[in-house]
Amino acid sequence: MFKLMGKKLFSILLCLCVSAGMAFAQNMTVSGTVTSAEDGLPVIGASVFVQGTTNGVVTDANGRYSLRSVPAGSTLVFSCIGFANQTKPAATTVDVVLAPDSELLDQVVVTAQGLKRKDKAIGYSTVKIDGEKLTIARQTDLGQSLAGKVAGARFYSSSGTTFDSGSIVLRGTTAYGSWGGSEPIYVVDGTITNKNAVNMDDVENVNILKGPAATALYGSQGGNGAVIITTRSAKSGETHVEFSHTTTMERYYNHLKLQHAYGGGSMGETGQLLGQLDSYANVDTMSPQYLMGERNKLQNPDGSYNMEWGNDENWGARFDESVNVASAQYWDPTSPYYMKADPWISRFNPADMFRTGWTNTTNIAMSNGGPKHNTRVSFTNTDRTSIMYNARAVRRYLTMKSNIKPTNWLNLTLDYKFTYRQDHNAAGDGYSSNNSPLADFIQWGQMNIDFKRLRDWERPDGSVRTWNITSKSNFNPTYHDNPFAYAELHNAYGTYLWNVITGDAEIILPWNFKVGARIMGNIRNYHGETTQHQAGNVRNWESYYGESQNHVMDMTYQGRITWDKSFINDRLGINAAAFIEQEDYDYGTLSSNTNAGLMIPKLYNLSNSVNTYSTSNSETQYTTRSVYGNVTAGFDDTFFLDLSLRNDWDSRLPVSQNHYLYGGASVSIMLNKFFKANWLDFWKLRASAAQVGSTMGAYATTYVYGIGSRYNNSISSMSVPTTQIDPDLKPTISTSYEVGTEFRMFRNRLHGDINFYNRDTKNQIINLPVAGQTGWNMRQINAGLVRNRGVEFEIGGDIIRTKDFTWNADFNIAKNVNTLVELHPLQKQYFLRYEKFNYEFGMYSIEGEPVGVLYTGARFKRTDDGKYVLRATSSAGQKQNFGDYMPIIDATEKTVGNFQPDFTGGFSTGFRYKTWSLNMSFDYTIGGNIFSWTNLWMQGSGLAAETAEVNDNGVNVREPVAKGGGVHIVGVDEDGNPVDTHVQSWRWYQYKSNYDNDGVLYKRTYLKMRELSLTYALPRTFVNKLNIGLSSASVSFVATNPWLIYSACPNFDPSESSSNYLEAGQTPASRTFGLTFRCMF
């Protein structure tokens, strides 16, 4: 009857080892049961000692013990980690109820530079998440697994087919020119490294330090917060072998609402126009019989019609299965569909473009801990085939973490983490992108295309079959190639090799001093290779070979001295640490590619380039030196003060001022010490203030000339610098203040945290545009103040906690208000970026507004409350084109929204019944705007469901207005009089996609279930009975991205947008389902 889980299990195991090896004495035998006061469950592994002796035993799986040779009149000590010790006089039967140790609540938090501090002593907001909560669904990427779990952390990622690990932004945008915000640093076991070099299977816990007060000790790099990852290590006296394996299946997740009533081509445009005329009142002008037959005379001898293969829009004839139509394959003698016409029906199913992806993740870890050493070695292999054909991602992690204590005054740590990461043919979004076949097809496509048929893409002569042939005798594509051909003829590999090394030696000196030396290295190599073959008639790519390499050598050398001591009968405790550090960074790139194709097909060598191949390289180096320190003082375990100070010297800053001093201070008070309420376990009030400086890119302080283009490949040219550099540029400084409180009550059944912060970032280094006639285009100067103000709130706990059943839930929400308080006296707004098809739409930073003001260049005129303003059509031509009214195009630039969200957050919940457990995690965003290309093009090309819906007359909008069709528009005319009218659908949606940029701006609100898992752990009793050395085993059903519960954006998932203000032809969404098996010996 062993039903304890998680942390408790761990503490029991500790108890087991602590109490191992006890000797026996004589006299009476005492037996009894030890139970927990908290839940009445038996306490397993509690030790029972005779006081003052080494005689003791541990409790069994039922909490029972039996201790022989107890001298009468002696005292028994009952202890177990997590519970307060208890003493009882010896008797034949002694049953004990252990109360939880309040010290259990005294969690230790790893803060900056690996300094361990009591939770109580921390005067700023941190969030600690246990590794097991992050691996619920066996996500292989850290970012994905953190989504929704930290208040105030926004998670951005693309869909799974991009193999993107996503990025996290804490507390909003701090730079006027970087709307998305900057990522925090990722610190693994004390070494600043990359999130992609983290093996989730090794993660013991993750601590998120959100503000500068938390990260002042990391210097400029830590200005955007820090994600501190502690990996698992072997525990003294334990030897384990752990094994886990997950197999998941990945399926395309459809968010598109497509129409299935009208087919491809543009004949329907004529059908709509003619249908407006009285003379066609009795002609079914939208029928395939009329459009392809009677009107365009496209009949074949077998009675089938020819469709518009060369067209790539979907404004064609109405589907009608009684009519046979010749597809592109009909004319291809090498196709099995040669001379076989098909019924004119909707055949496009997005899922046909994809396969089922499979991911296998296996981890094996071994740990061994002795009295003077402990070592853990772990290896994970992940092999993932994407739902996209010929796309695959491989991740391999090998880690070794070792700790040696050769003497009692020396402590050596060696840590090595190796990551191999390869992406093959990652998907990418964009307009008309080969890397995103679905996006390409829903921008321009035909609903009658059957993609199952196009899988067989290669003709015997090596040319490629496409749906979009030029004519019945010319099989070259008009616009679009066969996406399956691209998937196989294009092979792009990106391979990273990461080596993260940490070596640390610490000498313990008298009087509580410790000195340490540490070396931390990030050594990375990247190799990218792309081969591309332009088969016979391919239109959209050419044969190509490209190779690129880069390397990073980032070494940090650190010396430190630490000291802690308590005074006044332990009432005053002081921890102090001082560091000296140097970081040497070196980054080099080399890339080369062929131009204008390859002379000999499929010979992938640069010398085979048709035109001269291109090569470029670069080298970047910098050094920073730092001296910093930290002092924490605690009084009566109630009042705490923490001070940090740091001075950096940075080679990237102007020589005249290449150093800067900054720091932070925080205080915390344990309010629960002032209340004698036993339901209040912990109540802390905290406040902090800090400054963090930041630096600039290398080589930005001196002028360089550009090597320009080379005339006739021989005479070179040189360009002059165009950005003037302020020789007295200062580093950017972020100043932040925060106050917050956190509590735990009812024996840890309820916990909460609320935090308010204000963060001002000034002295931004901006390129101020100046009149070109000054001789410069820009001036690089200090300017700007960006303010982020916000509140973060978390609450959670065990809603139900009984012996067999628990239900817990955690919820968080955050609001960040971002403002560009000032930019520059000469400049009130800064242009960020734009996109343009007919009219541009894009984004600004404007003084007084949140960074990321969205604007459009044209729109359908609307009233303030969103009604369309329409103009009565005057000429016969206009009436035929539109109906009685047409939209008015307003082509003035206008602000329409902002990309910053109102609220972000997530929640997770778990249920446990006996050894079954069910866990779910969710995340959400409320507010903020996003533009959508998918919607723009789906409407324009006539694929979107609304372009062929049934209107209020009960007639499809595709039918001519004169026949009851048309899009039903309720608006006003230019004088404000109400208008209730129908507009020809083709004109309406084509105009919309060309001119109505406002129409594709959406709220980015969504709610998503990101993870789901159902786990069954083998009961301990069963495991023990097996007697094969197995100590635990479980099996889980896991799912990621299972359900986009709500999205304010039609046809795409706003949580998976790569460019976060713009959905630019989203890569296909996917969801995974699988099984995980874990066991430990």
Partner 1 sequence: MKMIRKSILAALAIAATLTSCDFSDFGDINISPNSPNTPYTNLLFTQACFTTQNFISATSYDYWQPNHVGYLAESGNNQFGSLMTTYEFDTRGYYYGSLKVLNQIIELNQDEETKNDEVTVKPFCSSNENQIAAALTLRAFIMMHLTDCVGALPWSEAWKGESDDNWFPAFDSQQDIYTALFNDLEQAYGMFQEGANLSNADILFKGNIARWKKFNATIRMDMALRISDVDAATAKSKFSAAYAQGGITEVADQLNYKYDTRATGSPLYPVALSPSKNLAWGPNAMIVDALKEYKDPRMFTRFTIGDDAYLGKRGGDPTDFESYYGITFGLEDNPSVIAQAGVACSVTEKYCVQDATYGLFTAARSLFNMAEAVQRGLIDGDAADLYAKAIKASFAFEETEGADEYIAAHPLPEDNDGAIKEICMQRWIADFMCDCVEAWSDWRRTNIPTMPLTEYQQMNHTGHTTYPVRFVYSSTDSERNQDQYDAAVSKYLGGNDDQWVRLWWDVTPNE
Binding site for partner 1 (CB under 8 A): 510-511, 513, 539, 561, 580, 595-596, 611, 617-623, 625, 627, 649, 651-652, 655, 658-659, 698-699, 701-713, 715-720, 722, 724, 769-777, 779
- Can you read off the two tokens belonging to residue 484? 């399956």
Rounded distance between C-alpha atoms, residue 858 and residue 841, angstroms: 8
Question: Residue 1062 CB, nearest distance to partner 1 (Å)?
Answer: 23
Question: Residue 707 CB, nearest distance to partner 1 (Å)?
Answer: 7
Question: Residue 777 CB, nearest distance to partner 1 (Å)?
Answer: 5
Question: Residue 652 CB, nearest distance to partner 1 (Å)?
Answer: 6
Question: Residue 1018 CB, nearest distance to partner 1 (Å)?
Answer: 56
> Which CB, 334 or 623, lies closer to partner 1?
623
Question: Residue 616 CB, nearest distance to partner 1 (Å)?
Answer: 9
> Which CB, 251 or 551, lies closer to partner 1?
551
The pairs formed by 323-330 with CB atoms below 8 angstroms and a separation of 24 or more are 323/288, 323/289, 323/292, 325/263, 325/288, 325/292, 325/448, 326/300, 326/472, 327/448, 327/449, 327/450, 327/453, 327/467, 328/465, 328/466, 328/467, 328/468, 328/469, 328/475, 329/453, 329/465, 330/304
Exposed/middle/buried for 245, CB within 10 Å: 0-12, 13-18, 19+?
middle
- Can you read off the two tokens belonging to residue 725? 């550099």
Question: Residue 312 CB, nearest distance to partner 1 (Å)?
Answer: 16
Question: Residue 586 CB, nearest distance to partner 1 (Å)?
Answer: 10
Rounded distance between C-alpha atoms, residue 573 and residue 710, angstroms: 69
> Which CB, 578 or 1075, lies closer to partner 1?
578
> Which CB, 281 or 596, lies closer to partner 1?
596
> Which CB, 693 or 901, lies closer to partner 1?
693
How do strand 778-801 and strand 805-822 relate by DSSP bridges? antiparallel
Q: What share of the chain is helix, strand, coil (3-state, %, to 5)?
A: 15, 50, 35
Pick from 198, 205, 225: which is nearest to 142 by CA? Answer: 198
Instruction: Find the DSSP H helices in 875-953.
Output: 876-881, 933-940
Strand order in the sheet with 305-306: 305-306, 320-326, 342-344
> Which CB, 53 or 780, lies closer to partner 1?
780
> Which CB, 567 or 916, lies closer to partner 1?
567
Question: Residue 771 CB, nearest distance to partner 1 (Å)?
Answer: 4
> Which CB, 102 or 478, lies closer to partner 1?
478
User: What sign results for the dihedral spanned by CA atoms 924, 928, 934, 936?
Assistant: positive
Rounded distance between C-alpha atoms, residue 57 and residue 66, angstroms: 7
Rounded distance between C-alpha atoms, residue 639 and residue 121, angstroms: 8
Question: Residue 552 CB, nearest distance to partner 1 (Å)?
Answer: 16
Residue 303: other Cβ atoms inside 10 A: 10
> Which CB, 449 or 820, lies closer to partner 1?
820
* Phi/psi at 436 (5° precision): -135, 75
> Which CB, 72 or 655, lies closer to partner 1?
655
* DSSP secondary structure letter of residue 295: I
> Which CB, 422 or 623, lies closer to partner 1?
623
Counting DSSP H helices and E strands in the chain, the numbers are: 13, 57
Rounded distance between C-alpha atoms, residue 624 and residue 580, angstroms: 11
- Can you read off the two tokens belonging to residue 164? 């993107």
Question: Residue 612 CB, nearest distance to partner 1 (Å)?
Answer: 9
| 108 bridge partner residues | 118
> Which CB, 87 or 722, lies closer to partner 1?
722
| 65 bridge partner residues | 32
> Which CB, 257 or 833, lies closer to partner 1?
833
Question: Residue 536 CB, nearest distance to partner 1 (Å)?
Answer: 14
> Which CB, 303 or 775, lies closer to partner 1?
775
* DSSP secondary structure letter of residue 289: I
How do strand 750-769 and strand 513-532 relate by DSSP bridges? unpaired
Question: Residue 821 CB, nearest distance to partner 1 (Å)?
Answer: 22
Pick from 892, 871, 1064: which is nearest to 975 by CA? Answer: 871
The conformational region for residue 52 under phi > 0 = left, psi -120 to 50 = alpha, else beta, is: left
Question: Residue 930 CB, nearest distance to partner 1 (Å)?
Answer: 28
